[in-house]
Chain A
Amino acid sequence: MRRALRAAAPWLVAAAALVALALVLRGYHADIYRKMLVTATLALSFNYLFGVAKQLAFSHVSFFGLGAYGVTILGVMQHWPMAPAILATLVVAVVLSLAVAIPTTRLEGFYLGLATFAVAQLFTIALRQGGDFTGGPDGLHGYAAPTLFGIELSGRRYTIVIIAVLIATFAVLRNLELSYFGRACRAVGDNSRAAAAMGIDVARTRILVFVVTSTLAAVAGMVYAFLDNYVNPNVFDFDLMFLIFFMTIVGGSGRQSGVLLGVVVLTLLSESLSEVVGSHSVLIYGVIVVIAILFWPSGLIGLVDVVRARLGWGARAP
């Protein structure tokens, strides 16, 4: 029992800290905080797909959009109860991610990036041309926050939901990382030929990790839908994809704590920069990414490791 408690301790502390922040922050800051939490959830699954499994998948943000639009269209516009709407959206996410993964499984490196980029563009076109079903180029907005299991999805209560989803995503990905399948994902990303020689079905591994992470992206999207009660095609486009990249690369790709660090840094940066530099902030992010790739390939979390090592602080974060 005590061992279970000790294992659960870091989780409880983290959850408590996140919730405390949720209760303390108000108004504008609360909004930023919630956006940051959702972005973090999305970035975690992208980090696993790109940083660990080494799949350059530009479709990730599209699945995020799929989740958001899915629950909005089904749960709000079509007036389904929330639970079946969520379930149906998950099923669609799984099916579509399979549809993308299976034909592209042989593509490596940049070619996979290109194929998934094309898929992402098709998704955006579909959203814009969706007419009343998707709200077209203006998207869907102004819908009321629905209820799930009696909880109305708004305000502080909703922030708790967001935190729960973030922690669940983190936990699921961590379990994956520690499992033999996680090892197989890394092996396939490192050297698919040697992985096959170990009996690993490379195609199946690639497809599975794509499906799992894309579905997690859709889950993040479902949470996003009720942040501002507004979804539109411009959100789920290349700009967001680039920002997710930024967080992963600058934070430290392949490590969950790295990505989370990247999310926090980007959020704080954009807040502090926006008054000073305004719309040119993306330019600065681009420069930072270039510097990170050239000079800190292991990301900010790598620098944190170095500092921890110098101070003798023991084991590195996951």
Chain B
Amino acid sequence: MRDFCELIVSVGEGGGIYALAALAYLLVLRPTGIVNFAIGELATLGAFVGVAALAWAKLPYMVGLPLVVFTVGLISLLTERLTVHRLIARNAPVLSPVLVLLAMLTIYRQAGASIFGTANLFSPPPFGFSRIAIGPFAGASQSFLIIAVTAVVFAAAWLFFERTIWGKAFEAIAIDRFAAALMGINLSVAIMLSFAAGGAVAGLAGLLQSPLTSASYLMGFPIAIKGFTALMIGGVGRVEGALVGALLLSLTEKLVLRYAPIPASYALAVPFLLLILFLILKPRGLLAAGEVRE
């Protein structure tokens, strides 16, 4: 029983990061149809800024966290303004924004490595390394922090999409961009918002993960892959899908690691195999709903 509860916390911890990454994709994907693969590197930047703010400048967490979120959100916003915006404005071929973001991915990664070096950097967990227990559930404090933050962010995201006017605007743009523009929705502002929000959430994911695995310029790739796989599993349309997909992915990973008789290094292949499987079998994901602009 205790084993099971620990598994739940563990799944929550892993799943939380993937869920945030998946949400970061979703926030950009919905109004623009663009898959911003660079969110993995944005997460890395979040982790690095976190190290700079918390470990080097010794700022309190309540200051550091918003700083990270704001900074990475800003970087993502600037990227959109300087690159993606131009391409959308001149009706460039549909792959161009994706390619430019791939190039940005490389730029972020190299910039991060240049500024912060290639060694693993320690990122201090805000509640230290203590283990806490909430009822039958025990785990590291960081795990609970991740679960808590993910829950809050997803609640906010759900409210945004379901209850606010901008959230509805995102939906409308995803369904029919021209009609949305005709209805008075400012496409340009919406896209800016989506990139800023996507970046902010990605930065948050990186910040939350870094105490567990340390901040390193290579941490972006796994986050990017798993985040997208989570999104695919859950259905590329919906906020709930991102969460469900992330939890399922994390669960599968933990179960395979614990019970499958294959070496841990092969377990690395699991998210990729799942991704391929879902791309081929269910390009719309498990909880598919609505149109996705491709």
**In the complex, A touching B, CB below 8 Å?**
yes
Q: Which residues of A contact B (CB under 8 A)?
A: 54, 56, 103-104, 106-111, 113-115, 118-119, 121-122, 125, 128-129, 238, 242, 245, 249, 279-280, 282-283, 285-287, 289-290, 293-294, 297
Query: Which of A110, A282, A287 has most chain B Cβ within 10 Å?
Result: A110
Is there an interface contact between B106 and A286, defined as CB atoms closer than 8 Å? yes
| Chain A proximity of B93: nearest CB distance (Å) | 8
Residues from chain B with Cβ under 8 Å of A113 in the complex: 98
Residue of B nearest to A239 (CB): B106
In the complex, 26 of the A-B residue pairs with CB atoms within 8 angstroms, ordered by the A residue number, are A104-B279, A108-B294, A109-B98, A109-B294, A110-B35, A111-B283, A113-B98, A114-B228, A115-B280, A118-B225, A118-B279, A119-B276, A128-B265, A242-B102, A242-B106, A245-B102, A283-B110, A283-B111, A285-B106, A286-B106, A286-B107, A293-B87, A293-B96, A293-B103, A294-B86, A297-B92
Write out the residue numbers on chain B whose beta carbons fall within 8 Å of the beta carbon of A249: 99
CB distance from B71 to the nearest CB of A (A): 19
Determine whether the beta carbon of B272 is less than 8 Å from that of A118. yes
In the bound complex, CA of A115 to CA of B275 (Å) = 7
Q: What is the size, in residues, of chain B's interface with A at 8 Å between Cβ atoms?
A: 36
- CB nearest neighbor in B for A283: B110
Q: Report the minimum CB–CB distance from A157 to chain B (whole Å).
A: 37
Q: Are B265 and A293 closer than 8 Å at their CB atoms?
A: no
Given contacts A110-B95, A121-B269, A293-B83, 11 further A-B contacts (CB under 8 A): A56-B98, A110-B98, A114-B35, A118-B225, A121-B272, A286-B110, A287-B107, A289-B100, A289-B106, A294-B87, A297-B92
Cβ contacts under 8 Å, B156 to chain A: none
Q: Which residues of A contact B87 (CB under 8 A)?
A: 293-294
Contact A129 B283 (CB under 8 A): no
**Given known A111-B294, A122-B269, A280-B110, contact A290–B276 (CB-CB < 8 A):** no
Chain A residues with Cβ below 8 Å from B266 are 125, 129
Q: Which residues of B contact A242 (CB under 8 A)?
A: 102, 106
Task: Report how far A248 CA is from B27 CA in the complex, Å.
Answer: 30
Least Cβ–Cβ distance between A54 and chain B, in angstroms: 8
B43 on the A face (CB < 8 A): no
> Which 6 interchain pairs have the tightest Cβ spacing?
A283-B110, A286-B107, A286-B106, A289-B103, A118-B272, A115-B279
User: Which residues of chain A are near B96, meaning CB under 8 Å?
Assistant: 293, 297
Per-position 1/0 for B166-206, Cβ under 8 A of A = 00000000000000000000000000000000000000000
Interfacial chain A residues near B130, Cβ < 8 Å: none
* Interface residues, chain B, with chain A CB atoms under 8 Å away: 35, 83, 86-87, 92, 94-96, 98-100, 102-104, 106-107, 110-111, 113-114, 221, 225, 228, 263, 265-266, 268-269, 272-273, 275-276, 279-280, 283, 294
Is B265 touching A129 in the complex (CB atoms < 8 A)? yes
Q: In the bound complex, how far is the Cα of B180 from the Cα of A24, in angstroms?
A: 64
B276 near A294 with CB under 8 A, answer no
With a cutoff of 8 Å between Cβ atoms, the chain B residues found around residue A285 in the complex are 106
A52 CB, nearest partner CB in chain B, Å = 14
State how many angstroms separate the Cβ of A193 from the closest Cβ of chain B.
14
A121 CB contacts on chain B under 8 angstroms: 225, 269, 272
Asked if A125 contacts B103 (CB within 8 A), the reply is no
Is A125 a contact partner of B104 (Cβ separation < 8 A)?
Answer: no
- Give chain B nearest CB distance to A23 CB in angstroms: 37
Cβ contact within 8 Å between A286 and B228: no
Alpha-carbon separation in the docked complex, A121 to B35 (Å): 19
- CB pair B104 A290 closer than 8 Å: yes
Residues of A with C-beta under 8 A to B95: 54, 56, 109-110
Q: Is the CB of A286 within 8 A of B103?
A: yes
B249 to chain A, nearest CB (A): 14
Which residue among B225, B276, B280 has the maximum number of chain A CB atoms within 10 Å of its CB? B276
Shortest B291–chain A CB gap in Å is 15
Known: A122-B273, A294-B83. A282 touches B280 (CB 8 A): no
- Which residue of the partner chain A has the closest CB to B236? A111
Closest to B110 in A: A283
Measured CB to CB, the nearest residue on chain B to A129 is B265
Collect the chain A residues with CB atoms within 8 Å of residue B102's CB.
242, 245
| Residue on B nearest A112 in the bound complex, by CB | B279
Task: Give the CA-CA distance A254 to B225 in the complex, in Å.
Answer: 29
Could you tell me the distance between the alpha carbons of A279 and B115 in the complex, rounded to whole angstroms? Answer: 12
Hey, which chain B residues are within 8 Å of A293, CB to CB? 83, 87, 96, 99-100, 103
